[in-house]
Structure 1
Amino acid sequence: MADTQQIAKLFKELKIGIGEVSNISGVSQRQLRYWEQKGYIKPIDSSSGVRVYNFETICTVFFIKGKLDEGYTLSAAYEKSKSAYTKSKIIRKFFHNLVNGVEITDEKAAYGKILLGDNLHIDNEDYQVVGIVDDDGNHFEIKKKK
């Protein structure tokens, strides 16, 4: 199985031409070029005359298209895409190092516990915050550190 560095490399180096992006997203090539002119998306390289996009840009195209389909204007859809990107970046930073703190409690049901850190100190006692995914949904427990 690929490790996180290999997956990150895949997402960083994945390149898809404008025709395929248009086919999979439902956004015409003409619209994509217009979005480029507005500065909403940017090809990796178009010097050869062929526009090629990276994974991040393709995600932006899908996000904007979704917001347009919901009735947003192009500029509002783009602004929402910037906000969503920033939020996802914060979430990725927060969870980046938590993978080693994940305990699978039911693989088939995809239930488990996530150690969110030894970040509570109350009355000279140390506590851990644990995120839990189980039959009750998502919730947290605060446990005294052993």
Structure 2
Amino acid sequence: MDNLTEELQKVKEILLNRNAILVSMTDISKITGVSARQLRYWEQKGYIESVHDQSENRKYNITAMVKIGMIKNFIDEGFTVAKASEKAQEADQITTALHRVDSEKFNQASVNDTGLEFDLGSVAGLDEGKKLFLNVPTDKDSFFEIR
């Protein structure tokens, strides 16, 4: 069984650092289909936030990029920009919770004969020493296991 814990920690450091990847306004426009003018307006209204680099250019982190895409999709579905932003904020709460679970629980990973296994640690109500594992086989659906 190959231990991937060190590699997992490196990947998590990158993914959990929301400012590790910054994208320019031009690139965000290309990726999401939202014009630079709209982005500036949304930022002025507080719907999105940018990070300014040393030259004061607007850059967007991965969280903002996802939120921009969600707002655009909700607008395309017929919502106002204000309601679309509200719905995107609700979805962002889910993303934040998933980031938290990731940072707290996905700390050990290994490769076995069938795929990957994540040690999710102890679970309240289980016997002491028992842990929850998430198995991600390459050829079938993922499943949880208690050992």
- TM value normalised by structure 1: 0.71
Matching residue's letter, 1:129: L
More strand by share: 1
Per-residue CA deviations over 1:94-142 (Å, capped at 9, x if unaligned) read: 12244442222358xxx322222122455x6542222222344122222
Q: Which residue of 2 aligns with 1:38?
A: 45
- List alignment gaps of at least 5 residues for structure 2: 1-6
Supply the distance in 1 between the matched residues of 2:103 and 2:13 (Cα, whole angstroms): 14
Q: Which residue of 2 aligns with 1:137?
A: 141
Q: 1:53 and 2:60 equivalent?
A: yes
Per-residue CA deviations over 1:49-99 (Å, capped at 9, x if unaligned) read: 743333332222122112223333322221122122221121112122444
The answer to which structure, 1 or 2, has the higher relative contact order (CA under 8 A, 6+ apart) is 2
- List alignment gaps of at least 5 residues for structure 1: none
Per-residue CA deviations over 1:17-40 (Å, capped at 9, x if unaligned) read: 322221221111221122122210
The alpha-carbon distance between structure 1 residues 120 and 97, as it changes in their structure 2 partners (threshold 3 A), is closer
Moved more, 133-142 or 18-27: 133-142
Give the number of equivalent residue pairs. Answer: 139
Q: Which residue of 1 aligns with 2:80?
A: 73
The alpha-carbon distance between structure 1 residues 102 and 49, as it changes in their structure 2 partners (threshold 3 A), is closer
Matching residue's letter, 2:134: G
Matching residue's letter, 2:28: V
Aligned-partner SS, 1:102: strand
Query: In structure 2, which of residues 81, 90, 95 is the aligned counterpart of residue 88 of structure 1?
Result: 95
Supply the distance in 2 between the matched residues of 1:16 and 1:136 (Cα, whole angstroms): 36
Aligned-partner SS, 1:137: coil
State the structure with more CA Rg.
1
